[in-house]
Amino acid sequence: MNLNNEEFMTKDITHQGYPKIVTVVGAHHDGRTNFMTAAWSTYLSHQPLLFGVSIAPERFTHDLIKNSEEFNCNFLPYSETEKIHKIGRVSGHDGDKIKKLNLEIEKGHSIKTPYLQSAYAVIECKLHKSVKAGDHTFFIGEISDAFGHEEAFTDQGIVNLKKVDPTLYLGSNTYVTTRQDQKVIQDK
Amino acid sequence: MNLNNEEFMTKDITHQGYPKIVTVVGAHHDGRTNFMTAAWSTYLSHQPLLFGVSIAPERFTHDLIKNSEEFNCNFLPYSETEKIHKIGRVSGHDGDKIKKLNLEIEKGHSIKTPYLQSAYAVIECKLHKSVKAGDHTFFIGEISDAFGHEEAFTDQGIVNLKKVDPTLYLGSNTYVTTRQDQKVIQDK
């Protein structure tokens, strides 16, 4: 694609920075567990290992994290897209989402929040800092454990795209995944 | 893939949350422009529209942003992977990266920082807040303009994967892109 400056135009688009990997954020407080879908997350720091996720205050999960000071991020394969989307649409304010959506959960390793059995990878976090970011709260967690299905990762510790199709969000209820081929750039 | 709990194991992996879209962050201050590659970025808020990127203090771009209070994020197609990787490896501390890598730049729309001509989409930001996040600074910008190649977006304003292959980072110098097929989930 030849991108000449003349072809550039301002558009009313807010999805330039997509696709973004989708994570299902889990939280647990005072006997109540909830999961919600989020595309606004990122690693932040190596030392300590920090990971942040942006959540609107009206989401049921928001106060669970605020009060328990912990959360997890579950990465589900592309085959689970329907479920991932539903987890994002049903609200924990309207009752137990785990029962409603028949979510299968497992006991957390380093935190009280359970993780989703269908995840190929899980990051567990203890709250490090909360930052007000416009109409959202950016919860920054210190990674207390991270684990995944052995087959889902290569010996180098990166996702094995021959075994797992990660789920990415493109905007407008549209989900995509990766090609299996990849480019490895050798530093000279 | 059947993910039984028994198959889960803790691994020394820090790339569970990948692949992540790659952005080339541009900054300009006091006559000096620089670009660096970053995978740690995310949208944060709708109102105002905020976008954050995590940058280590030793990066040349860090102080350009700190001092000028603006930056941009350039999204380059997968065909530009070699260039993207090089932009991440050469340091602005060692001289003018734009000349060294023959980067073609265009005048910014809403900020002084120029953008990369080979980008299919650009987000321009004015610094909203800086947050210390471990060994990095998380620069939160308010989006002052966002634009892109008309062909690169659908009428709905999402990336048109039939025209653009976005560049994603998987870890360990490995880059991937998306499949063209996608799932659109209809809310019932």
Task: Establish if A48 belongs to a structural domain.
Answer: yes
**Preceding omega of A48 cis (within 30 degrees of 0):** yes
- From A96's Cα to the closest Cα of chain B, the distance in A is 20
Burial class (CB in 10 A: 0-12, 13-18, 19+), B188: exposed
Containing structural domain, residue A56: 18-176
Confidence bin at A72 (pLDDT 50/70/90): very high
pLDDT tens digits for range A43-71: 999 999 999 999 999 999 999 999 999 99
**CB burial readout B147-179, b (16+ within 10 A) else e:** bbbeebbbeeebbbbebbbbbbbbbebbbbbbe
Q: Which residues of A touch B127 (CB under 8 A)?
A: none
- To which H or E segment does residue B88 belong? helix B81-89
Average the pLDDT over each of A148-152, B48-52, B82-86 and give the range with the smallest value: A148-152
Asked whether B175 and A183 are in contact (CB, 8 A), the reply is yes
Confidence bin at A5 (pLDDT 50/70/90): very low
pLDDT tens digits for range B60-74: 999 999 999 999 999
Q: State the complex-level ipTM.
A: 0.94
- From B87's Cα to the closest Cα of chain A, the distance in A is 12
Minimum CA–CA partner of A78 in chain B: B183
Give me the mean pLDDT over the B151-156 stretch: 88
Total of domains in chain B: 1
Give me the mean pLDDT over the B36-60 stretch: 96
For residues B182 and B179, give the distance between their C-alpha atoms in angstroms, rounded to a whole number: 8
Asked whether A50 and B134 are in contact (CB, 8 A), the reply is yes
Task: Establish if A84 belongs to a structural domain.
Answer: yes
Task: Establish if B71 belongs to a structural domain.
Answer: yes
Task: Establish if A7 belongs to a structural domain.
Answer: no
What is the count of residue pairs from A and B with beta carbons less than 8 Å apart? Answer: 326
Q: Which residues of B touch A184 (CB under 8 A)?
A: 172-175
Q: Tokens in use for B84?
A: 């993207």
Cross-chain CB nearest to B179 (options A148, A163, A177): A177
- From B31's Cα to the closest Cα of chain A, the distance in A is 23
- Inter-chain contact A176–B183, Cβ cutoff 8 Å? yes
pLDDT of residue A12: 55
Residue in this structure with the two tokens 């340091």, named with its chain if needed: B91
- From B13's Cα to the closest Cα of chain A, the distance in A is 5
Task: Establish if A35 belongs to a structural domain.
Answer: yes
Task: Establish if A188 belongs to a structural domain.
Answer: no
Task: Establish if A183 belongs to a structural domain.
Answer: no
Based on its alpha-carbon atoms, the radius of gyration of chain B, rounded to whole angstroms, reads: 18
Taking alpha carbons only, the member of A29, A8, A28, A17 closest to residue A72 is A28
pTM above 0.90, yes or no: yes
Average the pLDDT over each of A10-24, A83-97, A105-119 and give the range with the smallest value: A10-24
Count of Cβ atoms closer than 10 Å to residue A109 Cβ: 15
For residues A130 and A40, give the distance between their C-alpha atoms in angstroms, rounded to a whole number: 15
Torsion of CA A2, A8, A11, A14, to 10 degrees: 60
- Residue B7 pLDDT greater than 70, yes or no: no
Q: Tokens in use for A103?
A: 């979510």
For residues A181 and B52, give the distance between their C-alpha atoms in angstroms, rounded to a whole number: 29
Task: Establish if B184 belongs to a structural domain.
Answer: no
Give me the mean pLDDT over the B114-121 stretch: 96
CATH of the domain at B169: 2.30.110.10
Q: Which residues of B touch A145 (CB under 8 A)?
A: 10
Query: Within 13 Å of residue B25, how many CA atoms lie on the same side as its CB?
Result: 32
